[in-house]
Amino acid sequence: MTRTPLVVGNWKMELSHKAEVELARSLKTVLKNVTVTSDVVVCPSFPSLPAVSAALKSSEKLMVGAQTIHAAEKGAWTGAVSVLQIMPFVRWCIVGHSEQRALTHETDAMVQHKVDLLLKHGITPIFCIGESAAERAAEATTQKITNQIQTLLHKAARTTLTKVVIAYEPIWAIGSGQTPDSNEVAATMLLIRKIVAERFDPEIADRLRIIYGGSVSPQNIQQFMAEPGIDGALVGGAALHPLQFVEIIRSVQKS
């Protein structure tokens, strides 16, 4: 089974509205002469979704995603943003990012609920999982990943797994410049596929796209992509620099 590679740029809250729109335009320009065979998604802040999606409307190479949604479809939640409000602008949405989990005390069950909401509205969830530094030190990574995947699979139908992307992001690797060895990442991807295969079947596990995130750069991406079972990257810091992001896209496609 050949899985289409996927590169996701997570712009977090790093740029002004103006800078986000400019970044979208620059990326479009830089990608003009690049053959893009992977899925490429950029995730700006909520207020910039309409303008970035308008700027990329004519682009066949770049898609737009959101960085999270609220767990309720609608209601009296001051300051929150629902799936119904991002729908016109996105085809993708990150859920369960460790920064959101920390900020909003989001549990695995809430993240699972968000996955259902997104799928109901035809948006592809990018489901983030990963262990903390303390969990890694306590050699509890396997347990943590197993629990997080099992929560996702608990109520999921087989078809859900054909529509979800998993992003494995060790929390300690995010924004730190540190990464796990690529063979450790490959082993975690294998663990995830094994759990999915046991719950459903090997075919669905084989179809599932799993990407790596955490301090991905043009310098280290090749080593991850050289491993089997790593289908691309969720990129934070390097996604803010068009040339670096495009370099990562090229490396992902070369593998």
Active site residues: 97, 169
| Residue 175 found at the interface with ligand PGA (CB under 6 A) | yes
Cα separation, 254 vs 237, whole angstroms: 22
Interface region with ligand PGA, contact rule CB under 6 A, candidates 28-36, 67-75, 187-195, 211-219: 211-219
Q: How far is CA 212 from CA 113, 179, 193, 221, in A?
A: 23, 10, 14, 10
Considering the complex, state which of residue 1 and residue 13 has its C-beta at the smaller distance from ligand PGA.
Answer: 13
Sole window of 13-21, 62-70, 72-80, 228-236 interacting with ligand PGA (rule: CB under 6 A): 228-236
Among positive and negative, which fits the CA dihedral 232, 110, 47, 215?
Answer: negative
Residue 7 engages ligand PGA in binding (rule: CB under 6 A): no
Residue 47 makes CB contacts below 8 A (sequence gap 6+) with: 17
**Binding status of residue 44 toward ligand PGA by CB under 6 A:** no
Q: By CB under 6 A, name the one of 5, 10, 64, 152 that touches ligand PGA.
A: 10
Does position 49 bind ligand PGA by CB under 6 A?
A: no
Nearest-angstrom CA–CA distance, 6 and 209: 8
Asked if 235 touches ligand PGA (CB under 6 A), the answer is: yes
Residue 251 · residue 189 · CB < 8 Å: no
Nearer to ligand PGA, 205 or 235 (CB): 235
CB of residue 169 vs ligand PGA: minimum separation in angstroms?
6
88: Cα within 13 Å, side-chain hemisphere: 8
x/- map, 77-96, ligand PGA, by CB under 6 A? --------------------
Distance of CA 191 to the CA centre of its chain: 18
237 binds ligand PGA (CB under 6 A): yes
- How far is residue 50 CA from its own chain's centroid? 20
Give the residue among 166, 171, 231, 226 at the shortest CA–CA distance from 196. 166
Please report how close the Cβ of residue 177 comes to ligand PGA at its closest, in angstroms.
Answer: 8
Site membership for ligand PGA, residue 169 (CB under 6 A): yes
Query: Residues in the site for ligand PGA, rule: CB under 6 A?
Result: 10, 169, 174-175, 213-216, 234-237
